[in-house]
Amino acid sequence: MTAPTRSVIVTGAGTGIGRATARALLAAGFCVTLAGRRSAPLEEAAATGDDGTRHADALVVPCDVTDAAEVDALVAAHVERFGRLDVLVNNAGVPGPIADVGELRPDDWAAVVAVNLTGAVLCAGAAFRQMAAQHPSGGRIIDNGSISAQSPRPRSVAYTTTKHAIAGLTKSIELDGRPYGISCTQLDVGNARTELLDGFVGEGALQADGRRVVEPTMDVAIVAGLIVQLASLPSEVSVPQLTATAAGMPFIGRG
């Protein structure tokens, strides 16, 4: 008997890791809702070819993850189209300002927290409620933590603090989801080649000793492949934390 097709929501699906992940999931046979702020990049990510035709198993839902009503509507639209929600790739995020805590402006801090932390909590909460209520219950949430959840880059206090908070969110979901068959993974990625990475390391990344160093990078498709593997795991398997970095980058021993 063939296993039923799994369905996935990917937030931040218009660019970077989210885009690569959504396309890899569609190629692997998943039904995918692509969510993000702007329709045009989402439609491009959901296209099957140069003519712009949307993949038959793709749904595009523009969504501001900082708005609870829009997040609830995103999950409702996904379930209406695909029947249930098996996986949330909780990926939407912003890099925030280059600043230490003394330089950080309150409005910049609030903007980063709104997307990277509040947005992640809102998306996880809406997915959790759906996964707990559906029959059979259960599902998997994959939180994009970043290796900054473990060790910061210099002058990245807003981004680093929100990503450290993702560790607590992931562990809480993993614990509270047990009665419903919901598991949660914190995926910490280092130096996958994306537009976001270019802002950090394009001319050489700032190191703790003040030098700028051109760091190794890895193809974002590798990260997307890891997420496809996580999404494909049977429900009896939990992967609470996974770290993947470009080989040789200065992460172990950072600082």
Residues designated as active site: 159
- Rounded distance between C-alpha atoms, residue 91 and residue 12, angstroms: 6
Return the closest-CA partner of residue 94 out of 167, 191, 19, 159: 159
Q: How far is CA 228 from the centre of its chain?
A: 12
Return the closest-CA partner of residue 47 out of 36, 64, 37, 32: 32
Radius of gyration of the chain, Cα coordinates, nearest whole angstrom = 18
Q: How far is CA 132 from the centre of its chain?
A: 21
- Rounded distance between C-alpha atoms, residue 39 and residue 17, angstroms: 17
